[in-house]
């Protein structure tokens, strides 16, 4: 009986791949899209909300979670795995405050989550976590940060990124549209996040969940109405841009 649990599940293939980790990344690609944007004075997280069943209580499905007052994360992949990782991260945030008398830096908690994920790629009898996470927040020095972790345990800092289903499309949209102008103000950064999600989300504003952190302010979750009004603004701007284009043609 014990012999079965001695065998590591994540082992190297002959050509140097860790297949379990790569399969975990496939699981992430099946999850609903999440996008993160680092502005000048704001960080934005947007996720695609999966449509809930008729009898399901919408409020209990949350994909954006606060880790501490100044850090929050969104994930793509297996929700149950994410719950475990988020719980451990939240405990670590408080533990760090207790031991070192300072709140965590965004990089510290990202490194903690990444180390946790890596440990599960090198342990007996465990499979890797099937989630990628986008972690955003402000440090004490007032600089906004966005990090992404993946199931292999690596983490990188990004200006803007997307994970989950259609991440590639969204990332291409961001690469084209993330400029100094589009992140110049907070409202522009928020609009960029919503526009990026609208590229891949089916029914528009209803299926988007948005959260922002401004410098020295706690996490703010947008209500459905606020998202709807942003979407309406975006559509107006699109129409006006198209009218200008057609005028030019004539």
Partner 1 sequence: MALENVCNWQAPEALSPHLPGAGDWTVPRGYDRLGFLQTQGPELAHGTTTLAFRFRHGVIAAADTRSSCGSYVECPASQKVIPVHQHLLGTTSGTSADCATWYRILQRELRLRALREGQLPTVAGAAKLLSTMLYRYRGLGLCVATALCGWDQAGPALFYVYSDGTLLAGDVFSVGSGSPYAYGVLDRGYRYDMSIEEAYTLARQAVAHATRRDAYSGGSVDLYHVKESGWERVSREDACMLYIRLQETGEQEEETTPTSP
- C-beta closer to partner 1: residue 11 or 98: 98
196 and 173 Cβ atoms separated by less than 8 Å: yes
Between 103 and 128, name the residue whose CB sits nearer to partner 1: 103
* Interface map 90-109 toward partner 1 (x if CB under 8 A): --------xxxxx--x--x-
Assign residue 137 a region: left if phi > 0, alpha if psi is -120 to 50, beta otherwise? left
Residues in region 40-99 near partner 1 by CB under 8 A: 98-99
Q: How far is the CB of 135 from partner 1 (least distance, A)?
A: 17
143 binds partner 1 (CB under 8 A): no
From CA 70, how far away is CA 93, in angstroms rounded?
A: 10
118 vs 132 by CB, closer to partner 1? 118
102 vs 242, which CB is nearer to partner 1? Answer: 102
Which residue in 89, 95, 96 sits closest to 71, CA to CA?
89
| Least distance from partner 1 to the Cβ atom of residue 100, Å | 4
Window 158-197: contact mask with partner 1 (x via CB under 8 A): ----------------------------------------
Which is nearer to partner 1, 6 or 141 (by Cβ)?
Answer: 141
Give the shortest CB-16-to-partner 1 separation in angstroms: 29
Report CA Rg, the chain.
20
Residue 23 or 108: the one with the smaller Cβ distance to partner 1 is 108
Residue 112 near residue 89, CB atoms below 8 Å: yes
Q: How many helices (H) and strands (E) does the chain have?
A: 7, 10
Q: Is the dihedral of CA 36, 38, 39, 41 positive or negative?
A: positive
Orientation angle between helical segments 186-198 and 224-249, nearest 10 degrees: 80
Say if CB 136 and CB 122 are below 8 A apart. no
Q: What secondary structure, in 3-state letters, does 87-156 show?
A: HHHHHHHHHHHHHHCCCCCHHHHHHHHHHHHHHCCCCECCCCCCEEEEEEEECCCCCEEEEEECCCCCEE
Q: How far is the CB of 143 from partner 1 (least distance, A)?
A: 14
With CB under 8 A as the rule, give the number of residues binding partner 1.
7
| Least gap, CB of 219 to partner 1 (angstroms) | 24
Closer CB to partner 1, residue 57 or residue 141?
141
Closest distance of CB 97 from partner 1, Å: 10
Per-residue contact flags (x/-) with partner 1 for residues 107 to 126, judged by CB under 8 A = -x------------------
Distance CA 212, CA 65 (A): 11
- Enumerate binding residues for partner 1 (CB under 8 A): 98-102, 105, 108
């Amino acid at each position: 009986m014990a012999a079965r649990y001695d065998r590591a599940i994540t082992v190297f293939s002959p050509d140097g791949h860790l297949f379990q980790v790569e399969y975990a990344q496939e699981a992430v690609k099946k999850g609903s899209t999440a996008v993160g944007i680092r502005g000048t004075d704001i960080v934005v997280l947007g996720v695609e909300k999966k449509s809930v069943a008729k009898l399901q209580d919408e409020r209990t499905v949350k994909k954006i979670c606060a880790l501490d007052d100044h850090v929050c994360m969104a994930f793509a992949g297996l929700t149950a795995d994410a719950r475990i990782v988020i719980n451990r991260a939240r405990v670590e945030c408080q533990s760090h405050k207790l031991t070192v008398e300072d709140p965590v830096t965004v990089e510290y908690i990202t490194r903690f989550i990444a180390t946790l994920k890596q440990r599960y790629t090198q342990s007996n009898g465990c499979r890797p976590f099937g989630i990628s996470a986008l972690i955003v927040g402000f440090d004490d020095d007032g600089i906004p940060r966005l990090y992404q972790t993946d199931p292999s345990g690596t983490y990188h800092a990004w200006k803007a990124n997307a994970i989950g289903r259609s991440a590639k499309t969204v990332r291409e949209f961001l690469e084209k549209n993330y400029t100094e102008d589009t992140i110049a103000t907070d409202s522009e950064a928020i609009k960029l996040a919503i526009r990026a999600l609208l590229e891949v989300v089916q029914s528009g504003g209803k299926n988007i969940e948005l959260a922002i952190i401004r410098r020295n302010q706690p996490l703010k979750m947008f209500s459905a109405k606020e998202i709807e009004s942003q979407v309406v603004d975006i559509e107006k701007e699109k129409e006006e841009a198209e009218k200008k284009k057609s005028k030019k043609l004539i």
